[in-house]
């Protein structure tokens, strides 16, 4: 399958680059958290990458992309916790947050572009009163 047939492969590449950056950062965590919080962050990041790779090669990608989005949200919280516990410095936290947000925007756009024409999100139109 060509890159043109998989227009959102950039989300996969962005997540791959984030994981490449993340692994050595987590290796630098104190031993007391490296094998708990560090492993959880790394496993979640790799799960997100797995979901994105699978979505790139699947016709049924919506569920995979939703799982990736959930994993990204977990990463946001765990990276913030790592910063708050002073396990990573602010500069690294800031970089991680930017990378996660970038992947999240790409995944959101990918989800939106794969929605069948004429469908909306479940809460679309919630601001409008039903016809009487």
- Give the model confidence (pLDDT) of 50-81 as tens digits: 999 999 999 899 999 999 999 999 999 999 99
Query: Is residue 114 very low, low, confident or very high in pLDDT (cuts 50, 70, 90)?
Result: confident
Q: Which two tokens stand for residue 14?
A: 């962005």
Burial of 6 (0-12, 13-18, 19+ CB in 10 A): middle
- Read off the pTM: 0.81
CB 21 within 8 A of CB 99: yes
Query: Is residue 3 very low, low, confident or very high in pLDDT (cuts 50, 70, 90)?
Result: very low
């Amino acid at each position: 399958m060509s890159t043109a047939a998989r227009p959102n492969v950039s989300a996969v590449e962005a997540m791959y680059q984030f994981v490449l950056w993340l692994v050595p950062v987590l290796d630098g965590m104190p031993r007391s958290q490296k094998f708990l919080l560090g492993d959880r962050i790394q496993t979640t990041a790799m799960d997100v990458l797995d979901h994105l790779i699978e979505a790139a090669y699947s016709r049924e990608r919506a569920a995979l992309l939703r799982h990736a989005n959930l994993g990204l949200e977990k990463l946001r919280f765990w990276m913030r916790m790592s910063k708050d516990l002073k396990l990573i410095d602010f500069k690294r936290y800031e970089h991680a947050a930017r990378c996660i947000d970038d992947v999240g925007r790409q995944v959101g756009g990918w989800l939106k572009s794969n929605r069948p024409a004429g469908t909306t999100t479940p809460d679309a139109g919630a601001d409008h009163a039903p016809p009487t």
